[in-house]
Amino acid sequence: MKYSRLTKEQFEELHLEFINFLATQSITADEWANLKENKPELAETELDVFSDLIWEGVLNNAEYLEHFSPKHMYLFRLAEDKMQAIVVNVKNDVDITTQEGYDWLRENLMDDSVEFLQADKEYSEDKNLDKFKMIEQGAVITKGELFNYFNNLLN
């Protein structure tokens, strides 16, 4: 397994897709029930393969990631050949993961305690795995509004 297995909730949301996946493997509902009962290791393998297929599709389509910590906002644009990063550092006692702290940041972007950094990072040989590792560390896929806002502000 390349990524991680989908959660029970994610499998429930993707129920129809999973049925179609099994159908492409020529596995009927009865055969699936039999697999789960009599060959659970094979059923587990099918769940893992399906999870990887879903993750691969999601990661291929992801264009932006965001990760917030109390003092930092990490914004990424996932370009074809590299990641573009914008980092917002808050160097005071404000916690931007709270609504109050986030509101403070919005109103005080040009304060001396707010620092902006920009960088590009090359992907490794497996860019989807790079993206996945960032998600595992807490990044979330977004539409890029914050990245584009700060990119326009800085450039």
Contact predicate 64/144, CB 8 Å: yes
pLDDT surpassing 90 at residue 25: no
pLDDT, tens digit, 9 for 90 and up, residues 84-120: 999 999 999 999 999 999 999 999 999 999 999 999 9
In sequence order, what DSSP letters do the residues of the chain get, joined into one string?
A: --S-PPPHHHHHHTHHHHHHHHHHTT--HHHHHHHHHH-HHHHHHHHHHHHHHHHHHHHHH--EEEEE-SSEEEEEEE-SSEEEEEEEEE-SS--TTSHHHHHHHHH-TTSTTEEEEEEEEE--S-HHHHHHHHHHTT-EEE-SHHHHHHHHHH-
> What is the sign of the dihedral through the CA atoms of 145, 146, 151 and 152?
positive
pLDDT, tens digit, 9 for 90 and up, residues 28-80: 989 999 999 999 999 999 999 999 999 999 999 999 999 999 999 999 999 99
Half-sphere exposure at residue 64, Cβ-oriented, CA atoms within 13 angstroms = 13
> pTM (2 decimals)?
0.85
Higher pLDDT, 155 or 98: 98
pLDDT of residue 19: 92
pLDDT of residue 37: 93
